[in-house]
Amino acid sequence: MAVDPKDVLRDAAALLTRRATASMDDIAKAAGISRATLHRHFAGRDALIRALEELGIERFEAALDTAHIEEGDAVEALRRLVGAIQPVSGFLAFLYSENQLFEGAEINTGWARLDARITALFRRGQEQGKFRIDLTPVWLTEAMYGLMASAAWGVYDGRLAAKDVEYMVLELLLGGARRGSGDA
């Protein structure tokens, strides 16, 4: 009968990924607990969102670790990264837009650390001569987020097939749309 906060977060993440404006009541229902209990575990909506960010950061970081993005060829590392992120991309897309849309909310500094790792990946790729140097690592990082979110939303809305997404995000990011770039 004891409620595991992890489970509540999981359910909240799943719901908010689908409907970003869900109320505390909706979230409580989705988690199968009462509103009061939800408040007992997360003191207020802000606290819940912050906890969700922590969860997102944790999952994101796990993906980065799994992908060993600091090791080996940057292109290969990016491949591994996109593959590893895929399963949580919907949730991350929610957090990404949440952070963009709700100004004023303190943005969890945990993201900065992850941003830095990804930016470093692109920078390493540039130093290895694998990535273009006219596109800044910061922009490539941002672009990866944007493509990931677009893909997640496209899948969610039925415009894209889930199985294709990984390939498409990666290929576009690596080689762009132009023929002779990435399809050689």
Residue of the chain from 21, 43, 106, 109 that contacts a copy of itself (CB under 8 A)? 21
Is 19 a binder of a copy of itself (CB under 8 A)?
A: yes
Pairwise CA distance, residues 149 & 20, whole Å: 14
Q: Which residues contribute to the site for DNA (CB under 7 A)?
A: 1-3, 23-25, 33-37, 39-41, 43-46
Considering the complex, state which of residue 88 and residue 140 has its C-beta at the smaller distance from a copy of itself: 140
CB 168 within 8 A of CB 83: no
Considering the complex, state which of residue 62 and residue 128 has its C-beta at the smaller distance from a copy of itself: 128
Q: Residues with Cβ < 8 Å from 133, sequence gap 6 or more? A: 126
Applying CB under 8 A, which part among 27-35, 39-47, 64-72, 172-180 lies near a copy of itself? 172-180
- Beta-carbon neighbour count of residue 1 at 10 Å? 2
Shortest CB 27 distance to DNA, Å = 8
Mark residues 95-114: x for contact with a copy of itself by CB under 8 A, - for none. --x--xxxxx----------
Is 132 a binder of a copy of itself (CB under 8 A)?
A: yes
Characterise 42 by phi-psi region: left (phi > 0), alpha (psi -120 to 50), beta (else): beta
81, with CB counted inside 10 A (0-12, 13-18, 19+), is buried
